[in-house]
Structure formats: structure tokens, C-alpha cells
Structure 1
């Protein structure tokens, strides 16, 4: 019954609800004002995505104040007999839920405002660090001081000018005439400058200096296909030059008698009448005209020697490893030979001018002095006539005779003799090393002559004193003093011994030097402290000797020698020999010599 009048009136609860709603709305408005002072909420990260959000900022909990119910309200809620109890309970629950949701929303807005404040402080700190406000203030103060000083100077200059103008002020008519002349002169000068800039401005800009740009070219990786393509391009590019040289040599060799005779008469007549330079210019124009017609599709062949078209093999797309390796080897061999020829020519020219051989350079020196004196005392027409006649006779007649008679060329062809006698740098090194070895031999022979016994001959003396890097030869291999390396292999051949009977890796392959004596085949290991790891094989005990290829995948005939003996199950292989063919010929010839001598001794 108590509940009835309270519910009927409804004024107190409505008043409480209005107060709570108005306070919530005021709080939301304040939060909106705080939130929209800076950036919008979408410009910042969420709570979960923000890396700088601290735990305290994200975990601040706002205590929720739930409205307390009075004992009367509880009793009214508990009283089942009161009218409208169910409606009232549901209304209170809805009110509590909406208030709780609003408080959660307020809590979220507060957290967002705190985060916005934190991010704004961070951005302000970064901007202060980047801008350096103090430095800017100092610079601004300096600029202000400079501006004040300049203003003072300008004012002083203006005052001085006004004083001068007042002191020397002409009459008004004269001043007006002067002003008009000055205006006309200024207008004329501005027009002249504008016209000059329009006409010659681009050319003036072209002469403006700019710093050079250092560009680094990217190097292409090594490719077999690219390598062969570049070699073919080089061959095609050098083909016109090689054809021109072939035609000149054909003219000198009188390959076509009629063509060479006509060329000789025309050239000599042009030189005699002083038309040599116009003749060469006319030939160049004629060659360009023919090239134009050939480019237009005309079939014209103007060469003394017929051109042989080589079939161009199409490049293969898929190459095996061995084909690629062989291709690289072929290209490297061609490049090696080409670079060797070019280096020989350049080194010979350098040595000719650097007085490496004084007797050859002296001839060039005298010839240059004679040409200089002739150009000083004789007219140029006479000098040109003499040089042209000598060149024609030398090219068409003398060279033809010298090519047919090599002995005459070796005796009387001075340019050919000078060119052949000029040394290259490797030849100079060989000569110097040979001279040093001769000096060492003479000094050693002088020092060893008194110590040799009288009964020993020269051969025994040389074998006695022959030694390797580790000691005397016969002591290392436990041989007699008469056994010494042959003259061909006095320094030995670098190789590796492959003993396939051994299973240990250290015994399977050994690096060392191979020697051949009159009766033995000796291998000196490079890493052996004693003579146990060395190998000595009698030439008589060899049952078979042949060239061997260690890796069948690689192209070529290999770089090894296989030697079979009765004491080994598998043949011994001396591999990785650079001079394999020379070593094989030496070993095989000595082996044949020893076996034939043993067979003849057994028959007798």
C-alpha cells in the first residue's frame, strides 16, 4: 500500500532521472570539446594498436556508482501483492543498464582523450627537436641586426646623394632633358639586352660550366652465350679492315697482274704530277658511293681477292657443362692469341723508342735527322715526290721480289730486319735470366774446380753437385752419385701422384715434383719430412706407360701419365702436369732406350 502513492505521484523519481541525464549530457559535451581541440579520433591509433600507450593509461578504471535502493524500494520490489511491481522492476533494470552503458562510453571517451593528449605531447616534442626553436631565434636575431645595419647604411647613402644633388642641381629644363635622355638610353639598353638574349641566349647557356658526373658502368656477369656473341661481333666488325689488308697484300703480290699493273701506273703518274692526295680522296669518295649502292640493294663486288662467306652456326640454346667449358676454352684461346699479338706490336714500338737496343734505335734516329734536314732545305714538292716514288717502288716491286726470295729479304730488307730484331718484354726477361744463370755457372765452376778430384770427369762432377730444394739428389732418393736428372727435366715437372691402391686420403694423392734419370723415375713429395713418402720406379720394371685423362668430363686429352708396374695392382697416375706431352715423350724415349739396351744385352 505504501508503494501506491509513490508510484502515483512519480515526481521524485522523475526528478532524479532528469538530474542524472543532464549531468551525463554535460559530461559528454565537455568530452567532445576536449576531443575536438586537436586531431580527430580517426587520425590516432586504437588502444590495442598504439605502441606508446602505457599500462596505467589503458587500465585506469573509473568506479561505477550504482544508485542505491532504499529499504522501502526493496520492500516494494519484494512485495508481490503491490500493483505494478513487475513493470517497476523491469524499468529499474533498464535504467541501470543504460546508465552502465553510458558510463562505459564516458570511460572510453576519457581514455581516448588521454591517448590524444599523449600523442600530441609526443608530436610537440618531436617538432621541437626537429625545428630547434632556439637556433632559429638566434638566426632571426642576427638577421634583424643585419637588416638594421643595412637600413642605416642605405639611409646614409641616400642622405649623401641628396646632398650631392642639392649641391649640383641643374636648372629645371636641363634636368627634364637629362631625365628624358636617361629614360631613352635605359629603354634602348633594355631592348638591346632582350634582343641579344633572344638571339644568343641558348648559345650562352651552352657554355655554362657544370661539374662532371662520375657514372660507374655496371659490369655484366660471365656468360658463355654472351662471350660467343661478343666474339662474333668483333669478327664481323673487323672484317672490313681485314678485307682491306688482304686487297693491299694482293696488290703487292700481283695476285691479279692486270689490276696490279693498272694500279702501279695510275699511282706513279699521280705522284709524278703531284696528284697523290687527290687520288686517295677520290678513292675514298668512290668507296663510300659503292657502299651506298650496296646498302640500297645493289650487288657490287669490288675486291681483288674473292670474299669467302663462312657459314654462321646458329647459337645453341641448351648447352651441356662440357660444351660450355669447351666454348669458354676456345674463346679464351682466341682472346689470348689476339691479345698476345697486340701486346707484341705495342712492346716492340715501345722498345724501339726507349733505346732498348741502341743499334736499332740509332738507325731510326739518323733517318729522322735526315728527313728533318731535307724538309728544311728542299721544297715540299720535291720531298713529297721522292717519298711517293720510293713508296710506290717499294710496295709494288721491291716487296714482291723480297716475298719471292726470303734470303734477299733477310739480308737487305731494312724495315723487316729492324722489326724482327726488336725484342718484346718476355724476350728481354728471358735474356736477363739467361745472363744471370751464365754468371752463376761461371762463378760456381770457378769455386768448384779446385775441390773436385782429378779422376772425376765433367759429367760425374755435375751429377755430384746436382741438388734439389731439400738436399742432394742421390741422398734424397738413396741412389748412386751417377744418377742425376736429365737435361730436359733438370728442375722437374710439378704434378700430383695418385696411388689408387691406397685408401687413406693422405696417401692417395701427393703433390710433388717428377724427375727422370737414366735408369729411374723419381717422385719427390713436397710435404714429406723424410724419404719414405718419395717414390722411385725403375724404368726397366715399367710394364706399360700411356697418357691418361683423370676427369673424363673435361674436354681435351687430359693432363696425366699412367705408369703400370708389377708391384701395383692399379697403375700409378701422375696428374695435373702442365707440360704433360714433354714429360711423356722424355719418359717414353728413355724407357725405350733402356728396354732396348737390356734386350740387346740379354741376347748377347
Structure 2
């Protein structure tokens, strides 16, 4: 595969190259070569004719230089310079002007001419080069990886003596304000040890517990063709996963700083406000000392405890909360999509049980990983689970009559309490469809093509937000699916109407309530007056 790709790139490069300018340039080079050859021949002939005269003049000059005294040779000025030799001040001026003009030339924007203006893509993709670069990369990052593992072993108290000594030294140095001195001293110690190691010494002493770090030696036999292909796939997968993980972490930090989780960012904001107010009353050196002491306690004491007890880490580790609760870009987009679907949810009615096929519409089982994946696929809340009988979905085909290509999309149809969901069989989510039951005007049986035998195996969904109905065909047991869809849609409509009627009763204007109350009060007053009049009449009669 790699060799074919390399050959294809070379072939494309040759096909894209223009031959006519190359031929013209080749002809120009040939003409220039012929003219230079003729000039060289004429110069050689001229030198052959003038060789005796030139030899005589050279011999005479050499004799005069030998007879000339040594002191005179030092004091005599050069042949191409007239006058006395330059003084020290003149030599200094010449040197300074040369340096000045060289420096001014470096500040010009024109760079050196390169052979090719277009940037090169580097070496071709080959298994040999890939394996070699992998070995070089591994050899480059292994020292840093061993250092990180040794530091992790040190702060994890795997070597109690080393960790206790490091903790005491660190806290004492920070308390005395020698943090910069400690850092510079460690750098000097590292460069000193590397100097002696480069001179052939063997130094095994170290403050870090390298003896507790496991070193794995990778000894692999020569690779076959299939192993090479697997190597390319393995490297591509590793690169993909590493880049994806780094992108997730960066997106989490970005969204955390932009208040996508207000409670989490608010705690950081509050701590920063407290630190800012404290910095107004505490000197800078004391503030740095307090920060250093806090970092020492956190790194050497708090983090090992949190690492040992995961429940405490999940509750009290601020970094863990950031990378666990802060959303990525995909999760944020999914959250926004779920918020948009909230308006189409069928309300839960207290005291009324909406039944479907003799069972409650809301599934009483807790949401499993499968239902969570279903919710992520259609960007709906986890409470929207497929109803009983629809958990496996119904095989069908989404038919689009106005297109020739992509007119048929195979998939599965799911019915929830609030939505009718179509999932395309391919892995892409582009063909998935989410139809709110609120938007459905009517559901009809259909026959997509008249030339097909039978009554058809399709169902048309007419929606208020679409001009054309959505057609699902290729359904086995179409009539049963139609009855279940009608029952679920009608149950959702009843729940929506009940909620709207109850909300209308609750939101009756206060003026009408006052009129009713005033009418009731007047009625009570009239009845009381009538009763008092009756009592007076009875008394008079007596």
C-alpha cells in the first residue's frame, strides 16, 4: 500500500510537470555550454602562445624579490596601494564600517534565493523510514518518560525515605525563600553530572528513585509484510487517539474558562478574588512562600491520599472535576441540541397514566449504556427511551422520490414517548432523522409505487413543519406498526392537550377571578338579606 502510494505520488508529480519549459531551458543550457566551450578553447590557445613571455616575466620578478632585503619587504607598501600604510585609527574605522554595513545588510527583507520556491513535503512514506523515526522518537522521549515516572514514584511515597527527605528539603527551602536558589542548584547539579558522564564516568547516584521504575525493553524480530501493514495501522491509531485526547483536554479547559459550567468556574473565580485581595495586604515574597508551601502540601500529602482513595478524588480534586465535568465541543453541541429538543417533549401528567399496548409508555427500567448511546445518537434526553416493542427498532427504508441517487436509505425506526426516530444503517449520523410527535399532523398508510403488487408496505408521516410527507417503506407487518404509531401519537396528543388545558385553567386572568369573587360575595349578601327579611316577617307575624 505504501509503495503504491509512493509510485502514485511520483506519477502525479510527473504528469503535473510541464515538459515544454523544461525543453526550452535544456536548449538554452546547451547553447550556453557551447559558447563557454568556445571561449575556453580560445583562452587555452592564447595562453599557449604567451607562455614563454609570461614565464620570463615571472622569473625576473622572483629574482628581484629574492635580492630585496627582508626589512624592506616588510616596510614596502603593497603593489595596489599607493602612499603610506594605514594607521591604527584608520584600521579601526575600516573594521567598524565593515561591521556596520554587514549588520545593515542583515536587516534587509530579501532573503537568500532558494532552489525551489514551493515548500517541500518531506520524505516519502516508507516503512523503513517510519520504523527508524519511531526508534529515534522512542530514544528521545525515554529519558523524559523515566524522569516523569521517577517523580511520580517520589510523590507517591513508594520510597518513604527519599520522599520524606525531599519533602523536608522542599518545605525548608520554600520557608527560607530559597526557591530560585534550589532550582538553579538542581540545574547546575544536572549539568555537572552530564559533564562527567560525557567524560566516561559512571554516576548512579540520584535523588529520584529510578530503581523503582520498570524499564521495558522492546526487542522485536524483523517485520513481515503483514506486520508492516499492522505497524502503519497501529501508529495511525495511536496518533489518532493521542491527538483526540489532547483535543478533548484543550476543549475542556477552553469551555471551563468560558463558563460553560458556571458552578465549576465560579469556585475558581472566588478563589482568585480571595487571592487578589490577600495580595493587596501581603508582600510578594510572603505570598510566594505561602503558595510554595501550599503546593508542597498538595503534591506530597494531599495528592497521594486522593490517588489512593478514588471517591475522595472524585469529590475534592478540583483538577479531576475540570476534566470530568467540563464539556468538550461535541458534548457542548449535543447539550445545545438536547436543549432545542426540550420544546418537543411530551409532558408527564401526574395522576394520569398514558398506556401503550396495555403498558405504561415510560419504561420503568433504568437507562443502560445502550439507551445512553441511543440518546447520544439522536441528541435527546436519556429519559427518551424506545417504548416496549420498539427497543430493537423496526426495519424500514426512508424513500425520497425527488432524488435518483440516495433515494433509498435503509435503517431502523424507533418510537419514544415524544419522538419518532430513524437511524440510518451506516455509521454516519448525517442520514438520521428525528420527528417530534407534536409536529405530526396525520399518519397514513401508503403505496409508494403503483406498479408494485399488494397494498404497499409504507407509511406516510405528514408534519406541520414540512411541505412534503416523510415516507417509510419496506416494512414487514406494516399494519401492526401503523396501529402502534397511531396509538403512540394519539397518546402524546392527549397528554399535550391535557397539559395545555390545565395551564389555561391555571393562567386565568385575575380580573375574571375578581369578578367571580365579587359575584359570589353579592350572591351571599343577597341570600343573607333574604334570610333576615324572612326572619323579621316571622317575628311580626308572631
TM-score, scaled to structure 1: 0.42
Larger Rg over CA atoms: 1
TM-score, scaled to structure 2: 0.47
Bigger relative CO (Cα 8 Å, ≥ 6 apart): 2
